Chain A
Amino acid sequence: MKRWLRPLLLVLLLALAIIAPLGQGNYIVYTLTSWLIFSIAAMGLNLTLGYAGQISLAQASFMAIGAYTTALLTLAGWHWVLAMPLGLILCFAVGLLLGYPALRVKGHFLAFVTLAFNTLVFLILRNEEWLTGGSYGLVGMPRPDFGLFSTMKQLPFYYFTLGITVIASLVMWGIVRSPWGRAFKALRENPVRAESLGVDTRRITLLAFAIGSVYGGLAGALITPLVQFIEPGSFGVGHSLRILLMVVVGGAGYFFGPFLGAGVVIMLPEMLRFTAGYYLIIYSALVIVMLVFVPSGLIGIGGRLREKFRPRREVRADMREGARLQ
């Protein structure tokens, strides 16, 4: 891609995100807002899974931690701006904790541990009624008010969320471009080699979980004022799978994959709405078909096409003949 093309594309996308909700009904603005929020959650999981290669089926539980912390504190009279960071810190700490199993087990086992963790969080939310309101959940959380800029209406809240999304994306961009990002990828591709080159793989693994979880928490902190009603059912294993799906559908390990994935996973049901009850059936079938034919995600399609049309750099013939004995 040309050097100037990428920034131009980004500016265009951002402009589109600013114009998109104008003149739209509340419902569309609401859907766009939840697209942004889930993009943040998926961005976090993309760091853990896509960049660092550690599977987690618990992203929804971090959304829960962020959402409930923000909800309880704002209900107690705190301002959102103060409540949210506390939720993120909590997510960071719990995320570190969840990273420990990843130091011992990989792959499927890690998937099960994180899945079990998500279910445990769900059970606690449901059963500890004194704190979480149990199955009835929490209602009436205020939206943040900044004096001149109140987010009570749907449209201002969208722009508020957009602003946070942009900041979160910039921070993520900084992380994956930094040496940390390189270390995350090295962990994904060959942890033993990475360790032998001085990468502290234990620390990097824990950080991959903790940072990914913080993004889950941030998404939760935004869901609370958006929906103004939270209950354990919104943070079950099914929702973790949904976020995982966003990452994979968009393209794991691609920076913009989560935005695309979240868009597809959130918009598709809306687009399939005319099919009434069948949409989940069609939807799950589409996912399977996609995994069979484009396993690297939708963003991966672009890469594939480009490879097809761009001539490959010729490798020196004398070097290519190196025998592949191993």
Chain B
Amino acid sequence: MSAPVLSVRNIEKSFGGIQAVRGVSFDVHKGEILGLIGPNGSGKSTLFNCILGQLAPDAGEVHVTGRNVSKMRASDLNKLGVGRTFQQLSVFPKMTVLDNIILAGQEHHGTMLSRLFGPSDAGLTQQAEQLISFFRLTHLRDTLAGSLSYGQQKLVDAAMALMAGPSLVLLDEPAGGVNLTMLANLKERLVTYNAEHGTTFVVIEHNMEFVMSLCTRIIVLAEGHIIAEGKPEEIRANQTVIDAYLGG
């Protein structure tokens, strides 16, 4: 088996006296869609932020395709092939959908100087249009992203995370605030994308139905520990998980 795309090693993080994450380790392999779930206060957001370098862990390391990425700047992490979305909507509202998507790819082409003197779309229009059409947004290509509906903006957001052709994508609560039709649409697109490109996904999410139907494997956190790990149907039947969620 090849090296894991993402390898999390003994991450620990505390705030003041409270230990939010207590030594969590796991690997994610190519092509997986891993769900990271847990009740409120289980430490999943903290763990997620440690993986992405938003928070500095007290101990432990994060490796992406074998490279230690702790202390790496977000832009460098992205260039290494890690795409992400944020919990809050994160499109650029006063740019068109096309410009949003092109921006997400342009920094991966050429040098700073060659971008200044090269074509204004960095040669990415066609690729961006393909992605826009993949998310069925073609009719909105030249609309300002800020004037789209919430669900449409979520799709643009996801498309931006995929534009640079990352090997690993981290989605932070992609289902939050999205209506059912849109959610089904988003899930179906992500699964198709994963099947076509073999891109690895890590999803942190509250919405259980969404996670269960999207992910190939699920890790459950509670009180900073991993309490269960397995396929969706195993998790569904796991008594420890049920207890944790019911506050047992």
Contact = CB atoms under 8 A, between A and B. Distances in A.
* Direct interface between A and B, CB < 8 A: yes
B75 A195 contact: yes
Interface stretch (A25-33, A180-188, A258-266): A180-188
Contact of A322 (B84, B91, B149): B149
Interface in A299-326: 313, 315-316, 318-326
B182 A193 contact: no
A313 to B, nearest CB: 7
B177 A323 contact: yes
> Interface of chain A, helix or strand or loop or mixed?
helix
Given A197-B107, A319-B152, A326 B75 contact: no
A203 B74 contact: no
B103 A321 contact: no
B107 A320 contact: no
A147 interface: no
A195 B149 contact: no
Interface size, A (range):
35 or more
Contacts of A190: 90-92
Contacts of B95: 182, 185-186, 189
A313 B88 contact: no
Interface in B62-89: 73-75, 78-79, 84, 86, 88-89
B194 interface: no
B57 to A, nearest CB: 19
A284 interface: no
A81 to B, nearest CB: 24
Contact of B164 (A192, A193, A197, A253): A197
B213 to A, nearest CB: 19
A177 interface: yes
A200 B79 CA distance: 10
Contacts of A315: 140, 148-149, 152
Contacts of A200: 75, 107, 112
Contacts of B99: 182, 185
Given A185-B94, A321-B179, A324-B177, A196 B84 contact: yes
B220 interface: no
B177 A325 contact: yes
Given A175-B116, A182-B103, A195-B74, A323 B94 contact: no
Contacts of B178: 322-323
Contact of A179 (B74, B75, B116, B182): B116
Contacts of B104: 197-198
Interface in B168-208: 176-179, 181-182
A63 to B, nearest CB: 25
A186 B163 CA distance: 16
Contacts of B154: 322
Interface of A: 175, 177-183, 185-186, 189-190, 192-201, 203, 253, 313, 315-316, 318-326
Given A322-B150, A322-B154, 11 more contacts: A180-B115, A185-B94, A192-B90, A197-B103, A197-B104, A198-B107, A198-B164, A199-B107, A200-B75, A319-B152, A326-B89
Interface of B: 73-75, 78-79, 84, 86, 88-95, 99, 102-104, 106-108, 112, 115-118, 120-122, 139-140, 143, 148-152, 154, 160, 163-164, 176-179, 181-182
11 contacts: A175-B116, A179-B107, A179-B118, A182-B99, A189-B92, A194-B103, A198-B79, A198-B164, A320-B149, A322-B149, A322-B179
